[in-house]
Amino acid sequence: MKIFSHTQCLSGIGHFVRARELAYALARRHSVHLVDGGWRVPRGRSPAGVTFVEIPRIGSAQGALVPIEDSRSLAAVMADRIRRLEQVVRDVCPDALLIEQYPFDTWAFEAEFQAVIAAGRAVNPAVKVVSSVREFVEPAEVDDRASSGLPYTRRLLAALAPFDAVFVHADPRFTRFEDHVGWTGDPPRPVMYTGFVAEPVAPFSGRRRDLLDWLGGRRLVIASAGGSDRGAEFFRATVRAWTGLDDPGRVDGHALLVCAALRSSDGELEALRRLAPVPAIRVEPFMPDFLEWLGIATLSISRPGYNTCTNLLATRRRALLVPDPEMPDQVFRANRFEELGWAEVARDQSPPALAEAIVRGLERPEPAPDVALDGGPRTRLLLEAL
């Protein structure tokens, strides 16, 4: 098949990473065109069969949509994106369209998604259209983005009309997607669970000799916050907590590696390094090989984003989850991991409270989660069967 996949990252990297892993799995049998039009994200491996469709970039900065690397107005950039996407879809003539998150989220790009669907139907009336979503969407009753004047649920149902199915990239044993949306009764389109989309865990390569020399014989604790620009406060609190534990020797034999977010500024990195004078703390910029180091860590301290949580499930690492209270999906995941006994959770992010949570995290047994992590291959099978 020829597959066109449209994803849009606004603040972090989670949606693009999940769509990228899906594209790589689909490309084992099919050709995939994957849209890349948000903040730049490292692509990792680039297998044959995947074509990245770069369009003018838009992201979220301080709560507002802004063009990235482009001096034009937002309206001009969005209009240009639609023109380019329509042309690519016409050229590709896809057999399947994957639209990521819409219509459950990303309403600001509704015109763009609808244009892609219309172009796909125009060149191939039999094209399959799938909404590709993570395990959590904000409950309808708290969503205020229905600017058309229609109640949110009615607008959602109307927007689902051109879709053939909804693929939920999660395991229903973890959560039921239907519990998070506003409709009652049977879902208006088939809802199919793929399992979580997990990045493959490569064996530890040991290429970073400088990090291995710094680590010495100590056990690794790794702190991370994904790709957004919202990690600065979390990292500061983590470094202060660790420093408070280091003085009385409560973390002897351990070392903290701070893996900064993709969009952490140079100034933030330097400020963290000044805040971390002890030898057992090291601050690194965003690490493309993060998953290798997570695989040998004794404890992960992180925000509970989708990709980080699937990484934890895949590596079965001890975890301390520190949710951003302004991110409902993170709060949900942290609560669910805690309920299932898979992680320690710190809701009080003051350094003293975080320090005690770190100690509890180090004392936890290693988790043994039982969930499906083959979301990429399973998505391919479900799409082939539509």
- List pLDDT tens digits, range 186-216: 888 999 999 999 999 888 888 899 999 999 9
Q: pLDDT digits over 213-236, tens only?
A: 999 999 999 999 987 777 889 999
Strand residue runs (E) in the chain? 2-6, 31-36, 50-54, 57-61, 64-68, 96-100, 128-133, 165-168, 191-193, 219-224, 254-259, 281-284, 299-302, 319-321, 344-345
120-134, 162-176, 192-206, range with the lowest pLDDT: 192-206
**Is the confidence at residue 183, as pLDDT, over 90?**
no
Tokens representing residue 371 in the block = 């969930």
- Cβ neighbors of 5 (< 8 A, separation 6 or more) are 19, 22, 23, 26, 32, 33, 34, 35, 97, 98, 100, 132
In 260-350, which residue ranges form alpha helices assigned H by DSSP?
Answer: 266-275, 290-295, 306-315, 328-339
**Domain coordinates of the chain in residue numbers?**
2-196+374-385, 209-363
pLDDT at residue 141 in the model? 45
- Does pLDDT of 148 surpass 70? no
Query: What angle (nearest 5°) sits at the alpha carbon of residue 311, between those of residues 12 and 227?
Result: 15
Q: What is the pLDDT of residue 143?
A: 44
Q: CATH assignment of 2-196+374-385?
A: 3.40.50.2000
Q: How far is CA 22 from CA 3, 4, 32, 302, 350, in A?
A: 11, 12, 10, 24, 37
Ranking 81-85, 135-139, 276-280, 285-289 by mean pLDDT, the lowest is 135-139
Q: How far is CA 195 from CA 132, 180, 343, 382, in A?
A: 12, 17, 20, 11
Both tokens of residue 155?
A: 């607008």
- Comparing 264 with 384, which gets the higher pLDDT? 384
| pLDDT band with cut points at 50, 70 and 90 for residue 139 | low
Instruction: Give the pLDDT score at 150.
Output: 62
Residue type, 48: A
Whether residue 329 has pLDDT greater than 60:
yes
State the Cα torsion 328-65-309-354 to the nearest 10°: -70
Q: Once rounded to an integer, what is the mean pLDDT over residues 116-123?
A: 98
pTM: 0.92
Fold of 209-363: Rossmann fold (3.40.50)
149 pLDDT band, cuts 50/70/90, is: low
pLDDT at 320 over 70: yes
Which one-letter DSSP state was computed for residue 272? H
What whole-number distance in Å separates Cα of residue 350 and Cα of residue 346?
A: 9
